[in-house]
Amino acid sequence: MKKKLFPWLDKLFIEADKQDIRRTKNIKLIPDFKNRRGGKTSYAEWAHVIGIFQTIIYQTLEKKTGNKILDIGCGTGLLGIASEPFIFDEGVYTGIDVMTDDINFCKSHFTSKSYNFIHLNVANPSYASTQSSILAPWPINDGSQDLVTALSVWTHLNETDAIFYFNEIARVLKKGAKAIITFFVLDDEYNDSLKKRSNETGRFHFTNQNDWIFDVKAYDSENWFTTKLARNPEDVIGVTQKAINTLLEASGLKMIQHYPGNWKEYPGVFFQDILILEK
């Protein structure tokens, strides 16, 4: 019943809701139900996450308008919507994704000249398995971006790919510019959360408990892990603190802020861990 009725009701709701938007004009860009992807389809959750990242982007950027923002794994544009206020006044948002359908949707949906979308022909076993197995640099000039964002991208990259594309972050950022990247970080809070999950008393119930236990090595890596429920390791990947240190050392980036994710059964800003990096 939901599959038949909900897309129709969603369309009616969005059209009616747009008439009442007064102070947050960029959420008019939230797509309809069939084009809300990236692990969340709820209109309310899209609006909520857009607000979280719009706030973090504001806090992270030195200048507030005219920015060049590169969004890796842009999907159908969630962070493109969050970025909208900050590309005003001759800035540019560029979204890159390995999924052709998502890029095609974004090109038709985001019609402003301030938006640019690029398909990256690189394979990912979970999202683009038939594409090129050769890692390719992003078609972005060196030292050209004020901000790089990636929402739930490094949570789908194995060790080799993660290191390669962390170096790409460093390559495209301007000196002193920053990046906002999300992870599942397997740190002390994660280890403490495993105790909570085995005890019915005092759970926060932020998550489905067994979905986020990273106890399987991803391709025999010592610091990149997946779960028993994953079909491919890239379905979901968590990394140790040593893995984060490896990424930072390889790229030369510096971590300046870590917002723990509430997936670890602690209150947090967002579901995944958010790392703020600086070149």
DSSP structure string for the chain? -HHHHHHHHHHHHHHHHHTT--S-GGGGGPPPGGG--SS---HHHHHHHHHHHHHHHHHH-SSSSS-EEEEET-TTTHHHHHHGGGSTTT-EEEEEES-HHHHHHHHHH--STTEEEEE----BTTTBTTS-SS----S--TT-EEEEEESSSGGG--HHHHHHHHHHHHHHEEEEEEEEEEE-EESHHHHHHHHHHT-STT----S-GGGG---EESTT-SSEEE-TT-SSGGGS-EEEHHHHHHHHHHH--EEEEEE--GGGSS--SSSSEEEEEE-
- DSSP code for 172: H
Q: What is the pLDDT along the chain (279 residues), one digit of tens a residue?
A: 566 788 888 888 889 988 999 999 999 999 999 999 988 999 999 999 999 999 999 999 999 999 999 999 999 999 999 999 999 999 999 999 999 999 999 999 999 999 999 999 999 999 999 999 999 999 999 999 999 999 999 999 999 999 999 999 999 999 999 999 999 999 999 999 888 776 554 444 445 555 789 999 999 999 999 999 999 999 999 999 999 999 999 999 999 999 999 999 889 999 999 999 999
Q: Which helix (H) or strand (E) holds 9?
A: helix 2-18
181: β partners: 150, 275
Q: What is the reported pLDDT for 212?
A: 87
**And the tokens for 165?**
């594309």
Rounded distance, CA 230 to CA 197, Å?
A: 19
Q: What is the reported pLDDT for 204?
A: 46
Task: Characterize 94-129 residue by residue with b for buried, 16 or more Cβ atoms within 10 angstroms of its Cβ, and e for exposed.
Answer: bbbbbbeebbebbeebbeeebbebbbbebbbeebbe
List domains and CATH numbers for the chain: 2-278 (3.40.50.150)
Q: What is the reported pLDDT for 14?
A: 87
Q: What is the reported pLDDT for 209?
A: 53
